[in-house]
């Protein structure tokens, strides 16, 4: 392992590394760790070793002997700082943590979250990229935004990094956990797919995300392999639905939804699958009664006419990886008479602005694993992903019942009703599920497989990777 270097291309870098900011999983999970992990639906220890939860509180026992990369101890106070930072950070991750009314530092290795209501999904949320643990010292001085400081096996090496070109992470000698396969991980940003494939073939990089357009070149190269895994739940969101907003009228939203034909996208991009709703059968929140909005031009025209055919001139923000999809949707809504333009931005700007309220509608991934988190992130009146601040009485009543049900037998049916209201009100639509495509040079790296974490993009199980010659 000594001297071993893994070079990974994810096509860009996270703009902000502060816990609570919207980081790509492939970036975040190099320096950071979570309190717990969720593997095959079960919660497993990471930085927390034990937990006890009631309707009123969640108490965590923390792993001893853990330090952050800057030497700051990992303890109950550090957890308190991180959770409060996530709560106060604008973005989709803060919503589910508002249920934590206060945090008690019981002792160095015991922290208690006092809850305003029952929240059976809190441990699941703590396992996701919503809740990495960062150094409280780096959070306090603000340096963590550009220089991540976590507890993971690899620490950020500013001296070996080149801004905008390479982020380098080197082995953290005081890491508490098991030995890993690489001494150094370099993350690079090759944005053009052909260039990334060429760099993979030549050995300049070891692993990259890729696109279906590259498959023939990858498959014809003797030293390249590829795989895929379900990573993206993607849907259209209507943000300007407050009083006087472009999408205040439910019939306008429904018309836009019926105008979109997601099958066109699936025909062009075969790694996308058309869905009727956010959750899959077997998940809490799935509702078999939801039929979604299958493409129906006639119905779209009827609804738009009933709404008075308001003049719409709206702009969506796109990134290179979803601009084509947005253009398709914009053209389809344009057939109704809606003027929808797509503005392209680099990924860091896209992630920080697409759902900020600056744009009346947007297209993005929702990686929430539970309907509780999904609702609190995007649809509740105070959800960070709901800049309009508007929530119908019907939705609030349904959500209140589901939340109050906690872990009772009634909870599944009640959450299914919440997702039905969200669909009926056309707060979101055009659901598709996409795969992340990984390619790697088998002459340089082994152990590549789909990540353990669910619905996280641009990710690989870094700890499982080994140099091919080891």
Please state the domain extents for the chain.
Answer: 5-187+442-467, 231-434
Answer whether 5-187+442-467 and 231-434 agree in fold: no
Please give the pLDDT value at position 2.
Answer: 85
What end-to-end distance do the CA atoms of the chain give, in Å?
A: 7
**Separation between Cα atoms, residue 131 and residue 421, nearest integer Å:** 28
Max intra-chain CA distance, the chain: 69
Give the burial class of 392: count Cβ atoms within 10 A of its Cβ; 0-12 exposed, 13-18 middle, 19 or more buried.
middle
The reported pLDDT for the residue numbered 210 is: 94
Q: Which residue carries 């996280």 as its tokens?
A: 456
**Can you give the pTM of this predicted structure?**
0.85
CATH code of the domain occupying 231-434: 3.10.105.10
Exposure string for 160-186, b = 16+ CB within 10 A, e = fewer: ebeeeeebbbbbbeebbeeebbbbbbb
pLDDT given for residue 407 in this prediction: 81
Q: Which CATH architecture has domain 5-187+442-467?
A: 3-Layer(aba) Sandwich (3.40)
Return the pLDDT at 346.
86
Only one residue has tokens 């993350």, namely 187
- 319-357 exposure pattern, b = at least 16 Cβ within 10 A, e = fewer: bbbbbebbbbbbebbeebebebebeebebbebbbebbeb
H or E stretch covering 423 = helix 411-424
- Structure letter (DSSP) for residue 427: S
The vertex-412 CA angle with 407 and 416, nearest 5°, equals 140
Per residue of the chain (470 residues), give pLDDT as tens.
Answer: 789 999 999 998 988 999 999 888 999 999 999 999 999 889 999 999 999 999 899 999 999 999 999 999 999 999 999 999 999 998 778 888 999 999 999 999 999 999 998 888 899 999 999 999 999 999 999 999 999 999 999 999 999 999 989 999 999 999 999 999 999 999 999 989 999 999 999 999 999 999 989 999 999 998 999 999 999 899 999 999 999 999 999 999 999 999 999 999 989 888 889 999 999 999 999 999 999 999 999 999 999 999 999 999 999 999 888 899 999 999 999 999 999 999 999 877 888 899 999 999 999 888 889 999 899 989 999 998 999 999 999 999 999 999 988 888 899 999 999 999 999 999 999 999 989 999 999 999 999 999 999 899 899 999 999 999 87
pLDDT confidence of residue 335 = 95
Which of 146, 35, 22 shows the shortest CA–CA distance to 82? Answer: 35
For residue 41, what pLDDT is reported?
85
């Amino acid at each position: 392992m000594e001297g071993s270097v893994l070079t990974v291309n994810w096509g860009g870098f996270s703009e902000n590394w502060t816990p609570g900011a919207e980081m790509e999983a492939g970036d975040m999970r190099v320096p950071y760790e979570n309190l717990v992990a969720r593997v095959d639906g079960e919660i497993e220890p990471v930085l927390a070793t034990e937990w006890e939860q009631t309707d009123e509180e969640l108490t965590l026992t923390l792993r001893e002997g853990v330090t952050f990369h800057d030497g700051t101890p990992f303890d109950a106070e550090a957890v308190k700082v991180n959770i409060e930072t996530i709560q106060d950070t604008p973005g989709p991750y803060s919503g589910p943590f508002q249920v934590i009314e206060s945090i008690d530092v019981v002792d160095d290795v015991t922290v208690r979250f006092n809850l305003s209501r029952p929240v059976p999904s809190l441990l699941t949320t703590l396992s996701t990229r919503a809740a990495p643990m960062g150094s409280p010292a780096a959070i306090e001085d603000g340096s963590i935004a550009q220089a991540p400081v976590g507890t993971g096996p690899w620490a950020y090496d500013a001296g070996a990094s080149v801004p905008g070109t390479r982020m380098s992470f080197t082995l953290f000698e005081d890491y508490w956990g098991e030995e890993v396969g690489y001494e150094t991980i370099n993350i690079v940003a090759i944005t053009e797919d052909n260039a990334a494939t060429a760099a993979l073939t030549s050995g300049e990089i070891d692993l990259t995300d890729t696109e279906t357009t590259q498959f023939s070149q990858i498959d014809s190269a003797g030293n390249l392999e590829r795989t895929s895994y379900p990573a993206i739940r993607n849907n259209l969101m209507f943000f300007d639905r407050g009083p006087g907003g472009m999408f205040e009228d439910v019939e306008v939203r429904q018309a836009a939804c019926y105008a979109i034909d997601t099958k066109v996208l699936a025909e062009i991009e075969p790694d996308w699958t058309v869905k009727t709703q956010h959750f899959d059968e077997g998940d809490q929140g799935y509702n078999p009664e939801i039929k979604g909005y299958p493409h129906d031009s006639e119905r779209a025209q009827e609804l738009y006419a009933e709404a008075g055919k308001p003049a719409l001139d709206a702009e969506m923000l796109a990134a290179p990886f979803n601009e084509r999809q947005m253009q398709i949707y914009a053209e389809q809504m344009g057939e109704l008479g809606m003027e929808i333009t797509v503005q392209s931005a680099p990924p860091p700007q896209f992630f920080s602005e697409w759902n900020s309220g600056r744009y009346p509608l947007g297209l993005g991934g929702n990686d929430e694993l539970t309907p509780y988190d999904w609702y609190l992130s995007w649809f509740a009146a105070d959800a960070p992903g709901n800049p309009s601040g508007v929530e119908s009485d019907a939705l609030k009543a349904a959500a209140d019942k589901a939340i109050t049900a906690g872990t009772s037998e009634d909870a599944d049916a009640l959450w299914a009703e919440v997702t039905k209201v969200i669909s009926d009100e056309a707060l979101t639509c055009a659901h598709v599920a996409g795969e992340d495509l990984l390619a790697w040079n088998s002459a340089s790296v082994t152990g590549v497989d789909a990540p353990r974490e669910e619905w996280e993009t641009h990710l690989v199980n870094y700890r499982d990777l080994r140099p091919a010659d080891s």
